[in-house]
Copies of this chain bind each other. A is one copy, B any other.
C-alpha cells in the first residue's frame, strides 16, 4: 500500500527529473506537500485495483506500477494547489482516475505496437499475454470511471470526451502508419488527440472541482494541452536521441513500427533526390535491421531536424507557460512553469 510511485523512489528524484537540469532547490519547500499528494493518489490506486480473481489484480497492479512517471497526478496536484488550496483531498481520486486512464491506454498501445518493454520491464502484453492485456486495459478504464463517478457529471463527461479524443488520436495514428505523406499539421492534431487532450482534461477538471472561474479553467486546460504536445514531441525525439537505459526501452520504435513523427516528417520533407527515395524505402520496410534504423537516423540528422524538433517543443512549452497567466502567481504556478520547461530537457 505504500509502494513508491517510481522504482527510484523519492519525489525529489521524480520532480528533479521532471524539471530537467538542476533547479530543484527553489522548489524544495513544496516537496513534502507534493510527496504527500502523490502518496495519497497512490493509495487511491492501490485501493481501486483489487478484485477477487488474483490474476487480474496482479496484471492491473503490474500495469499501474509501470504506468508512467506520475507526471499527470503531479501536475494536477500542483494545479489545484496553485489555486490556493492547502489540501488536495478533493482531487486525489480524480488524479487516480486520470492516471488509470493513462495506464489503460499504455497497456492497449503496447498490444497494438507489439511493444515488449515498458519502463525497464516486460510490457503487460509480454508478461501476461495479449488477451489478459486487452482485458486489463478495459478493467483499468472501468476502475477509472468508477473513481470519476464521485465527481459531478460535467467532470465525468469531460473525462469521457478526452478518452474519446484519445481513441480518435490512436486510430488516426494507426491509419498514418507507414504513411510519410501524413502532414505536420495532421500529426500535431494526432498528438493533441492522443496525448494532450487527456492532460488538458485533467487540469480543467481540477479547476472545475475548485469551482474556479472560466478563465482559470481554460488557462489550466490550455496549459495541459500545450504541455502535452511539448511532452509528446520530446517523447518522439527521445525515441531517436535518448538513452535506452534511462528510457527503459530500446530506441527507434517509431521507425520500426512505421509511425511518422514530427521529426520524421520534417526530415522527409527536406530530403530530396536519391536520399528521399532511400528514406522512403527504408521507412516503409515492414522489418528493419539495425543498419536500416541507423541509416534512417543518419538521414534525419543530415536535415538537422533534431534542432527544429526541439525548437517546436520549446514553442509549445512556452505556450504552456503563457496559458498560466490567469493563475495567481505563487510558488505552485512557478513550479508548473518549470515543469513545462522541463518537458523539453527531460531525458526519460
Contacts and interface: CB of A to CB of B under 8 A. Distances in A.
Interface residues of A, number: 42
Given A108-B138, A164-B139, A174 B53 contact: no
Interface string A114-143: 000000000000000111101111110111
A111 interface: yes
B168 A51 contact: yes
B112 A131 contact: yes
A168 B164 CA distance: 24
Interface in A127-183: 129-132, 134-139, 141-143, 145-146, 149-150, 153, 156-157, 160-161, 163-164, 167-168, 170-172, 174-175
Contacts of A25: none
Nearest to A128: B171
A183 to B, nearest CB: 15
Contact of A164 (B51, B164, B170): B51
A149 B160 CA distance: 9
A56 interface: yes
B168 A142 contact: no
Contact of A174 (B104, B132, B149, B150): B132
Interface string A47-69: 00001110110010000000000
Contacts of A59: 171
A135 B170 contact: yes
Nearest to A177: B131
A142 B171 contact: no
B53 A171 contact: yes
A223 to B, nearest CB: 23
Nearest to A142: B163
A282 to B, nearest CB: 23
A55 B112 CA distance: 17
A131 B55 contact: no
B141 A142 contact: yes
Contacts of A52: 168
A263 to B, nearest CB: 23
Interface in A12-64: 51-53, 55-56, 59
Contacts of A136: 167, 171
B153 A56 contact: no
A197 to B, nearest CB: 12
A112 B137 CA distance: 13
B108 A55 contact: no
Contacts of A132: 171, 174
B141 A141 contact: yes
A143 B166 CA distance: 12
23 contacts: A52-B168, A53-B168, A55-B171, A55-B175, A104-B138, A105-B138, A112-B135, A129-B174, A131-B170, A131-B174, A132-B171, A134-B134, A135-B170, A135-B171, A136-B167, A138-B163, A138-B167, A142-B160, A142-B164, A143-B164, A145-B156, A146-B157, A156-B156
Q: Which 7 A-B pairs have the closest CB atoms?
A: A146-B160, A139-B167, A149-B156, A142-B163, A112-B131, A145-B145, A131-B174
